[in-house]
Amino acid sequence: METNHLFPVFFKLEQLQVLVVGGGNVGCEKVNAILQNCPAARVTVVATWFLPEMDTITAGYPNVTLVQKAFSCGDIFGKDLVIAATSDKELNTCIWEKAKASKVLINVADTPALCDFYLGSVVQKGNLKIAISTNGKSPTIAKRLKEVLADAIPDSLENVLQHLNAIRDRLKGDFADKVKKLNELTSVLVDKK
Ligand SMILES: C[C@@]1(CC(=O)O)C2=NC(=C\c3[nH]c(c(CCC(=O)O)c3CC(=O)O)Cc3[nH]c(c(CC(=O)O)c3CCC(=O)O)/C=C3\N/C(=C\2)[C@@H](CCC(=O)O)[C@]3(C)CC(=O)O)/[C@H]1CCC(=O)O
Ligand SMILES: NC(=O)c1ccc[n+]([C@@H]2O[C@H](COP(=O)([O-])OP(=O)(O)OC[C@H]3O[C@@H](n4cnc5c(N)ncnc54)[C@H](O)[C@@H]3O)[C@@H](O)[C@H]2O)c1
């Protein structure tokens, strides 16, 4: 069976600088995905034109800056992550070249082969977050699985997380004892009996 070799991580985007190039459908989707996950994300969006939806998506997010202009190399300066989401494949490849030259991680929305990272489909329940990837095979299946998992996971899980966190903070003893105790307390989740 083929396997998925992507390594998942969870970025703290309020500590990073993100550049999105493109303010059309895909630019809007990516900016929305970022802000739904990380409202304090620092994002600059550069595009020659913006869908009106972009204003709606970004209203009330003081760390988002919309810049209406053509992309230029200098836009990458000081950025940690770039998402190239223009409808111009040649331009997207050019943005990729500039990002690589500056050692900045880049996602090129129309070319998976040029992506250093993919965005995942995300289930959120309070402090719980599950990111799903199909290895780029079918984002629609990722979206559907998100819906299935969101339905299957009860909202009350947040209470359980909060309780476990309180217990975790209270537990005394050495590290191995703590781990043992926390595993005992949560074994009900995996007990088949
Ligand atoms: C999960 C999600 C996250 C997000 O975007 O936030 C996401 N795509 C979503 C939706 C979606 N995207 C597309 C459709 C239409 C159906 C279809 O074409 O299949 C739908 C479905 C819909 O919108 O209903 C079109 C599409 N997507 C890519 C290409 C290029 C290509 O494959 O060549 C094309 C063709 C463009 C064209 O033909 O013009 C590429 C990528 N899309 C990814 C992520 C990465 C792989 C994730 C993985 O490993 O599964 C990857 C590789 C790169 C990236 O974008 O990071 C988000 C679900 C949000 C949610 O959960 O609601
Ligand atoms: N990865 C994904 O999830 C996904 C999903 C669907 C489509 N796509 C691909 O994403 C690409 C973008 O699609 P779209 O529907 O958003 O296109 P669109 O036409 O709606 O938007 C294009 C954007 O690019 C900007 N742009 C064009 N030239 C520019 C320049 N020189 N400088 C700055 N900005 C410039 C425009 O101003 C506009 O905001 C397409 O190639 C499409 O195949 C990717």
d(CA 63, CA 22): 18
Q: How far is CA 124 from the centre of its chain?
A: 12
68 three-class SS: strand
Q: Max Cα separation, the chain?
A: 62
HEC string of 91-114? HHHHHHHHHHHCCCEEEECCCHHH
Instruction: Please choose, from the candidates 59, 60, 19, the residue with its C-alpha nearest in 3D space to the C-alpha of residue 42.
Output: 19
Q: Which CATH superfamily is domain 13-119 in?
A: NAD(P)-binding Rossmann-like Domain (3.40.50.720)
Of 20, 108, 118, which is best to mutate to test ligand 1, by the most ligand atoms within 8 angstroms of its C-beta? 118
What's the gap in Å between 28 CA and the centre of ligand 2? Answer: 9
pLDDT at 193: 65
Cα–Cα nearest to 127, from 163, 158, 152, 156: 158
Beta strands in the chain (DSSP E): 17-23, 42-50, 64-68, 81-84, 105-108, 121-125, 128-132
**pLDDT tens digits along 116-166:** 999 999 999 999 999 999 999 999 999 999 999 999 999 999 999 999 999
Ligand 2 centroid, distance to 53 Cα (angstroms)? 14
- Return the best residue to mutate from 26, 54, 76, 98 for the ligand 2 pocket (most ligand atoms within 8 A of CB): 26
Parts of the chain with a pLDDT under 70:
193
Closest CA to 159 of 148, 167, 150: 167
Query: Can you give the pTM of this predicted structure?
Result: 0.96
Domain ranges of the chain: 13-119, 120-153, 160-190
Q: Which top CATH class is 120-153?
A: alpha beta
**Per-residue pLDDT at 172:** 79
Using most ligand atoms within 8 A of CB, pick from 5, 7, 129, 143 the residue to mutate for ligand 1.
143
CB of 185 within 8 A of CB of 170? no
* ipTM over the 0.85 cut-off: yes
pLDDT at residue 188 in the model: 86
Q: Which atom of ligand 1 is nearest to the CA of 137?
A: 50
The predicted pLDDT at position 82 comes to: 98
Q: How many helical (H) and strand (E) elements, i.e. helices and strands, does the chain have?
A: 6, 7
Locate the ligand 2 atom nearest the alpha carbon of residue 26 and give its number: 16
**Residue with the two structure tokens 């947040």:** 158
Looking at residue 191, what is its pLDDT? 82
Atom of ligand 2 nearest to the CA of 89: 41
